[in-house]
Amino acid sequence: MDFKTSTSRGLSALALATGLLSSGEAFAAGFAINDISITGVGRAFAGAGVVGDDYSAIGFNPAGITLKGSGGQIGGVWIFEHGKVEGYAKKVGAPGGRAYGKDDISIPVTVPNLFAQYKLNDSLYFGLGVYSPFGLETKYDDNWFGSDYGVKSELKSIDIAPTIGYKINKHWSLGASAIARWGQVRMTNTSAGTGYSDFDIDGWNYYGRFGVMYEFDENTRIGLAYSTVSTKVEHTLKGDHKMSGMPYPFLNGEWDGGTVVRLPEMWLLSGYHRRGNFGYSSSIRYTRWEHFNDFTLTSSSRLGYHTSKYNWHNTWSAALGTDWFYDDKWTFRAGVGYDESPVRHPGLRTVRIPDNDRVLMSVGFTYKFTDHFKMDFGYTHIYLPTFKAKNGYNRTGLQGTTPGVGDVNIKYDFNAEVLGLQFQYDF
């Protein structure tokens, strides 16, 4: 069996409902993605938005764009998940109604990003970011032992974020981004022993991010950002629902499919201080996942709907980092971080989003080729303690079935490596 659960941080918060991006398990908790800054990768994203050593503040705290002049960057991350999965799941046609299995996890994924900005004068800055703040992918073979609960779960999303920053005085800066977000959700699974269901839906919505930054002096600052991916905003996705091989022939064919998801709002508090040849950074993030309770896919077929139970909780994450300014060309950095999962116990963890708390251990460097051109590299090892998924709860309109906890018992033992590379040019 081939198992994939990748972590792309790249296309956007629509995945909230099925969580998958161009990669897989989003390696911030839930299916959030932080890897839009390679200098950030090197310090576990401590100081996100206020360090001022690249152009990614657009994706964290838009007030931070006032820390740099005109320029841009392009980069990406390569994410490799590895480990093992084993256990059992209730399955139609299996001996005793229960299928067992085990296999290795081995998944490589790449996720790009792009940022640019222009300094109009000493007060006014304009920027544009194209990146992925949410995403997830979990992919198994069609015949794996838990296929009735999920074969492929994928989110692809992209934020296009025009941004404005305003420096009020030497202490205060403000910033705002108007975000157009596109997302695509793909969910497949087997059904009733012989059938196969495939939802492929997408859509656009619009959000905002606001930030404020206070500089005590040129070496010390703090920033607060709020992302209005609010729990009160419903994001509608529409597309196709295809079914084949179903025991009820009237279900086979191509139907209209859709979903409505509620996305989490986020608060990010970051700080930075430089003393001599060293810089010290920290961040705390609060994400409101509390309205991600049930996730329902609707179909114009007689199936009607399919609902999965999540009941996620709000989460905190924290990171500490340091930079060593070795000389005019080289900067070295390191960081540690902790990400809390919105899943509180195995009975609420599904095979579609096998999420758990995680610890990040990071290193990185910057090499300056010229006064205008430099390269950034970052590496993060992501450690997840061994965990289990026991959430087999789902509800299907046609069948009226309600499998529950105990129908699934699958152990996940995997970690991930993140490698990032980006190039910056200052005009």
Q: Which residues of the chain have pLDDT under 50?
A: 1-26, 397-403
Distance CA 17, CA 39 (A): 30
pLDDT at 361: 97
Q: Is 368 helix (H, G, I), strand (E, B) or coil?
A: strand
Q: What pTM, to 2 d.p., does this model score?
A: 0.87
**Is 318 exposed, middle or buried, given 0-12, 13-18 or 19+ CB atoms closer than 10 A?**
middle
**How many domains, the chain?**
1
**CB count in 10 Å sphere of residue 330:** 12
Distance CA 355, CA 346 (A): 10
Place of tokens 């026991």: 390
> Domain limits at 334?
3-426
Distance CA 203, CA 340 (A): 29
pLDDT at 9: 31
Encoding tokens for residue 229?
């991916």
pLDDT at 5: 38
Taking CA atoms, 186 is separated from 115, 136, 181, 195, in Å, by 28, 11, 17, 17
We report the CATH number of the domain holding residue 348 as 2.40.160.60
Query: How open is the CA angle 79-158-363, to the nearest 5 degrees?
Result: 30
Distance CA 225, CA 335 (A): 21
Distance CA 396, CA 403 (A): 10
CA-wise closest residue to 135 among 116, 109, 117, 161: 109
Instruction: List, for residues 138-167, the tens digit of each pLDDT value.
Output: 778 778 888 888 888 887 778 999 999 999
Under 8 Å CB-to-CB from 30, ≥6 apart: which residues? 16, 19, 264, 287, 289, 292, 312, 315, 341, 342, 353, 355
